Every structure is written in structure tokens, then in C-alpha cells.
Structure 1
Amino acid sequence: MADAARALSDEAEVVPVSLGDRSYEILIGRGLLEQSGARAKALGARKVGVVTDENVAAAHLPRVMESLTAAGLDASAVVVPAGESSKSLDRLATVVDGLLAARIERKDLVLALGGGVVGDLAGFAASVLRRGVRCLQAPTSLLAQVDSSVGGKTGVNSRHGKNLIGAFHQPSLVLADADALDTLPEREFRAGYAEVAKYGLIDDPAFFARLERNWRQVFAGGPERTNAIAASCRAKAAVVARDEHEHGDRALLNLGHTFGHALEADVRYDGARLVHGEGVAIGMAMAFRFSAALGLAPEEDAARVGAHLATVGLPTSPKAIPGGVSDAATLLGHMRQDKKVEGGKLTFILARGVGKSFVARDVDAEKVLAFLESELA
């Protein structure tokens, strides 16, 4: 099995992330989890602390641990509950304590095996463990493969909002194994697709048009899925290389997130009601409708975005969230805790059309409130 996996990994697509002496590669292909041991050993590790959740552990942990031990590495695992609730300071303390108990040292590796929650949590744990241990990201969800595993953003949530406690900590390698997506629940795959569509909506209208034509093939798997993942990773890698710490155009990657994060906070991160990618889908549709309402984007572009997201099965309105959400004023209060707020002033990613997104600073809160009221009416 190892020889076959090695052959498959040799066919992996490589996307470089250029950050000087902290540069790394994203490998995209099949059979990569079976190569995690060889890849970790090549990075010079002696011990590897795997951080994963209960669902991913059942599906993928045995073969990862087998790969690590076959490579002669001392491997241990910390398993956390699945879901957004694990992105907390209490859970972070548990993970760090488990890694310390396993005697993971500075020259060793933390391996983040899972979706966005595990990637953010494990990456943050690696950033503070012994004041910084290297991290290998092995994303097992579409959302994590195209977004959260790349770029070094790590963190946990606060009762005040999402991702408000964290650090930038770039991985040493990303292994995006396409095989892992074959076990992903359909709802989770659809949610990850929202982040794929995002890259077209930011600044690549040709990519968005391709997704409109070929989304069924992306969902079915095969070359079109791999191409979409690689295109998304290339887009994010280019932005991260230009603006690692989000002082400029990296903020564009938050298209839809100001609305989406507010909705997630409002449902108290209840994954049964709303998962992150669904929040992003609603948020992107809202961002385009808000842009149209402000006279910035054509109405037909806002309708086009909403129509495509709805076609693939994603929600596009806060009214689609089971159990409903709070009133407009409460949602606006959630937005005031957004990471992009500067001097108390609201920042949104808006658009002048498909593929024409931009950072809008100091957005009039009264206009946001009126728009939210219209969305909830």
C-alpha cells in the first residue's frame, strides 16, 4: 500500500506559497494521507502529535498513525469533539496539555488532521506550544483544503465573536488528500464549495463562470474537482504572499464573512442550524445584494450569485436558517465585533459586479441596519 500511495503522491499537484524562509507547498492529490509519515520525516521531525476530532479519527486516524509509525516516528494523538464548540480556550488548553504530555518539542510537528475547526485549533496550539512548534496541515474537508489550511490564520472563538483569539502561524506543509473528500457528508461538501465560489466572486469572473458550467463535475469528483481545489489554492497563495497579515487586499478573502460570522454568532455556532460554509454562502449573497442596494453592483449580478449558490443547494438568505435569527439590531451588534472593524467603524467586502470585489471601509451603520431589516422582513 505504501508503494502505491507513493506513486499517487508523486502525481500530486504542487502549489507553492512564497513567504521567504517560511515558504511551503500545498500538495493536492490522492493517497497523500498515507504519505504523512514520509512527509513528516522529510521535515526532520522525530515526534508527531496528531490533533483531530472524533469524526475524522474514525475515518482517517488509523492510516495516518500507521504511516507515521512506519516512518519510524513517535506518534501520539489528541482527539477532540467534532464541531465548532471545540474552537474554545478551554479546548485549546486541553490540546496543548495533551501535546506537552506527549513531549512534543520545538523541532517536532503538530499534525492537524481534520476540517477547519481542527486546523484552526491545532494550528493555534502549535503556535503557542513551547512558544512555537511546526505544524503540518492535513485538511480533510473541502472548506479546509481551499481556505483555512492555507495562509497561517489560526485561532479560537470567544463569546464576543468568531476567531477573535489567535495568531498567524504558517504551516510547514499542506497535504490536501482528495481521497478524504470521498467520505465527506454532502452537506459539508456543499458548505466547502461556497469558499471555492468565493475565489471567482472576488476577482476571477472566468473561474466563477466555469463553476456555473461545471459544478456538477466538481461535486462528482475527478479532474474538475482537483482543478477547482488547485485554482482556489493558487488564488489564496497569491494573496497570502502579497499580504500575509491582512493589512491590505488579503481582507478580500473575507467576502461574505462579515454577514456570515454574525449569523454564526447569532445561532451560537450551532452546526445543526448553520455551518461555516453555509454562513459564507448567505453572507456572499447578502454582500452582493447590499452592493446592489447601494448602487455599486448591477442587480442582475446579485441575482446571478444567489441563483448559482441556490442551484448547488446552499442557503442564500438568513431566513433559510432553521429556527430563524435575531433582529437586525442584534445582528449589527455581532458585526461590531468583526475582526475588520477599525476605530469602531464597520468594514465590509462589497462588489461592483462578479469578480469585482473591494474593501469598503467606514460603511454607514444605518444603511447596514436598514439592509438587514429588509433581509429579515
Structure 2
Amino acid sequence: MSPHPLPGALPAPRRPTADSVPSLRWGVLGTGWIASRFVASLQSSTTQRVVAVGSRTQASADAFATAHSIERAVRRATALVADPGVDTVYVATPHHLHRESALLAIEAGKHVLVEKPLGLNAIEAQEISDAAAAAGVFCMEAMWSLFLPRFDVVRQVLDLGMLGDVRTVLADHGEHFDAPHRILDPAMAGGSLLDLGTYVTTFATWVLGPASRVQASGSMTPRGVNGQAAMVLTHAGEATSVLHSTLLTRTPTAATIAGTAATLTLPGPFFQPGDVAVTSADGSRTLTWTEPEPIGHGALFHSALEAARCIGEGLLESPLHPARAVVRNMTALDEVTRQVGVTYAPTR
């Protein structure tokens, strides 16, 4: 059977615009690198309002509030989640504090957007999701890639069956880090897997579904965090994903979805805004969607728009990244960590 012919063009993305969703009042827990970029992205590209920030020290909260023109700065997380002027809490604390921070906000009746990973493992991710559902508040992992216009193009290509029977996913994420970066600290659940590896496993399980088998190998740094990991996941129908993460070297950080009719490629960094290319199986034709937005973390606001859209519609989770998808990914990642000998300090 000859491959199905490609259409005239790739589909256009369908992401919500800034003025099409409610303007929520956000409180931010954490004052690190990702929190700063998230707030800057919201303030430059949306009508969302960041009204409060909380940190472990008042000085850090004050400095962050001054830098981002935020009204209120508090030292205790309990004070932030109790603020009646806050609708939604963005959890940007270190990985090992995600569970504690998210549950605190949920208990206070706040919607939560939790930086990835939602928890250190599938058990924590399920616990947080269950608590939010029981409290009747919205909860979502801020896996920002899945809410980008680029990924909505990919989503439609897959839904339309343009690639045919998808057999293979390839994805890589490698960056180099120097001390004293948090990712190198075992006390803060550092290592390549929760920071970088979660992008590639999320991508694979998003495209191919749960992993039925996992094979992994890796190496540790002298400080005792995972330096790099190579993973082979088997999915339904014996489809395969071949994945890699490293914090030791900078790698292409590209991704490929290969089917019997066509192959889709995401030039690196695949998890950020960027182009999409689909090439027919015989190589005779390529369609390209070109990213209109600047590449970089300035696009973090797309996850906030998705949260605002869902909250405005009364949803308790995003249909684009529901709790079951997060747990599915973390279950695969848990098996990777087991096989490569990674353990994280308990959060209780």
C-alpha cells in the first residue's frame, strides 16, 4: 500500500489568545529561575495578574516582588495560600517541595499549576491529583511544551493520521550545568531525569501511550545525582521510543515521530517554540510549519493560559494534560530511576 499523500499544508495551531481567557490573580510560591521567567512571560504576554509571591525568606520574597512589580511579598507559604486575593497558586519550589507546596495550596482551596515534575514519583503525582479532585480545585502540571502552538500542530498531525501507523519516537535533551546549580544537588532531587528526562518521557508517552516495558542505563555524577540516562520504552503494538537525557553535555535536543506514511521532526530544542516538519515516507515532499514566536522560555505563559481557560470553563484538569497522563509518564520515569539506581530523599 502506498503512503497516504500529504495535504497542501500543515494545520494551524488552535491555542487560546490572551484576551480569550479569564484574568486570574496568581500567587507564586518560589523565587528561583523558572519562577522569574514564568512571571515575566505572564506580564509581557497576557492579562493574567501576579499579585503575591512567597519564599522561604522575606528578603527573597521582597527582592522578587520588587523586580517584578508584585504587590505583596510574604515569607511563609501558609500566608500566600491563605491570601483571599489569590485565585491560583503557581508552585515553583524545588522538586522535593512540590508535593508539600501543592497540597498546602489545595487544602486552602486554591487552584494550582505545579512546575514539572508534579511530584517526585507516580505516587506523589497521584496523591496531588486526587487531593485536588476531592477539593474541587483545578490542578495541572506545568509541562509547558504541550500547550505551545508548535505542539498543537503536532497534535493535529497525529489526530489526522498524517503519519500513518506511528512506530518510532526519538527524543533527546542534553544541557551542560556547572556548580552550584540546583540540578547538581542530590538534596534537591537533582539530576538529569526530573529536569530533562521528564521532557523526553512525557513526549514519548504523549505520542505512544503508556510504556509496557522499560530498559534503561545511566551514570551518576561524583555528587550522587544522575548525570545521563539512555532509555528504550516499548508501547502498545510494539512501538518503540528511544530517549536520552544528560546534564553533562549539550546535545541536539531534537525529536522525531516516525510513521509508515510520513515522519515528523522537531528541530532542537524540541520542547520550546520552534518549527515542525513532516516528510513523506518516500522523501519526495516536506511540509513545514514555521514558528512565529521567539524561541525560548518567554512562551511559558501558554501553560497559564491553558489553566485560565480550564478554570473559566469549570474544569478540574486540562484535557490536554490530565492527571492520568502525568501518572503514566511518572510510572515510566520511576522504572527508569529504579534501573539506573537513582533514589530521591523522602518528602515526608
The structure with the largest strand share of the pair is 2
Structure number with the bigger relative contact order (C-alpha 8 A, sep ≥ 6) is 2
TM-score scaled by length of structure 1? 0.35
Q: Which has the higher helix share?
A: 1
